[in-house]
Amino acid sequence: DFDVAYFHSYAHVGIHEEMIKDRARTETYREAIMQHQSLIQGKVVVDVGCGTGILSIFCAQAGAKRVYAVDASDIAVQAKEVVKANGLSDKVIVLHGRVEDVEIDEEVDVIISEWMGYMLLYESMLGSVITARDRWLKPGGLILPSHATLYMAPISHPDRYSHSIDFWRNVYGIDMSAMMQLAKQCAFEEPSVESISGENVLTWPEVVKHIDCQTIKIQELDSVTARYKFKSMMRAPMHGFAFWFDVEFSGPSIGNQKKRTNPSDALVLSTSPEAPPTHWQQAIVYFYDPIDVEQDQLIEGSVTLSQSKENRRFMNIHLEYSSAGRSFVK
């Protein structure tokens, strides 16, 4: 039932318009396909969660022999029409159903998918990519993107706090500060998806989870825990933690050797505050009350991201943090 609601949400054209208009996202995927054209040309591809079919069409344009475009949402009906309108019905086969349920009667050479959710793992679509890999991908086959990394860092964001909370101190000359506690709960109870800049970030980021799409197992997604220790680069009020991710598009391994000699040569799509903006923005877990930190002050603790037992598309976040002898849990 939860999946029905989830896939139904992707039948709405607005969500696809937002993703396609995200130039950083769409153009990086197209560039990745063209960069790996030698591994796609004449080969069989699966596009997991194809949406409107744009990535499947890019693969067909790159010379793929056959592309299975799989989507459980009703948008698959439109995808089929888009494929037809572009004269690619002989190459791109749209399968309307879940990756776990549809049948493909051959091994595939390439899996492509735009599976990343907010904070990387929200919506849990990576599980479908892993399922497709284990069902159909030939040994040594190509997965795009090949790697993903989730980062976190403490932030200072006085403007956001002022806009949502301090506003109530004086409303048209009336003291409405009695609203502030409720305002904090409503504004900061759940993670907020918004854009910040590098200037908001107090420290270098730390890695929460690194994912190799060739080897990760579904069970690893049930719960992810990371310990962290940050050192503030400035004196500022700390308002919470920001999370963002990168995905990398690199070729398959040969033994333990990557095909590329230098990891920095790989094509990367980043949702960092320093990178061009994307529709993912950053995910921010705000504190109800800011903590004043001094330069070089340590901020340490742990974060656990776990799939909700009630609905695996949702994610629970458990954050422990301490600084200057005070400890907190959110």
256 vs 267: CA distance, rounded Å: 20
Of the candidates 253, 274, 270, the residue with the CA atom closest to the CA atom of residue 146? 253
Question: DSSP character for 120?
Answer: B
What tokens were used for 253?
């391994």
> Which residues are CB-neighbours of 52 under 8 A, at least 6 positions away?
16, 20, 75, 78, 79, 82
N-term to C-term CA, the chain: 29
Q: What angle do CA 9, 247, 28 make, to 5 degrees?
A: 80
> What local confidence, expressed as pLDDT, does residue 257 receive?
47
> What local confidence, expressed as pLDDT, does residue 258 receive?
46
> Which residues are CB-neighbours of 69 under 8 A, at least 6 positions away?
47, 50, 53, 56, 76, 79, 83, 92, 93, 94, 95
Active site residue ranges: 114, 123
What's the topology of domain 1-114? Rossmann fold (3.40.50)
Residue 291 backbone class (left: φ over 0; alpha: ψ -120 to 50; beta: rest): beta
What's this model's pTM, rounded to 2 decimal places?
0.92
Domains of the chain, by residue range, sit at 1-114, 147-329
Residue 267 β-bridge partners: 249
> What local confidence, expressed as pLDDT, does residue 20 receive?
85
> What local confidence, expressed as pLDDT, does residue 178 receive?
96
3-class DSSP assignment, residue 185: helix
113: phi then psi, degrees, rounded to nearest 5: -160, 140
> Which residues are CB-neighbours of 270 under 8 A, at least 6 positions away?
244, 245, 246
Same fold, 1-114 and 147-329: no
Q: Are 50 and 69 in contact (CB under 8 A)?
A: yes
Q: How many CB atoms lie within 10 A of CB 138?
A: 14
The architecture in CATH of the region 147-329 reads Distorted Sandwich (2.70)
Q: Are 295 and 235 in contact (CB under 8 A)?
A: yes
Of the candidates 143, 165, 274, 307, the residue with the CA atom closest to the CA atom of residue 211? 143
286 vs 142: CA distance, rounded Å: 38
Within the chain, which residues score under 50 in pLDDT?
A: 255-261
10 vs 221: CA distance, rounded Å: 22
245 vs 108: CA distance, rounded Å: 28
> What local confidence, expressed as pLDDT, does residue 252 receive?
79
Instruction: For residue range 12-53, list pLDDT tens digits in order.
Output: 677 778 888 999 999 999 999 999 999 999 999 999 999 999
307 vs 149: CA distance, rounded Å: 18
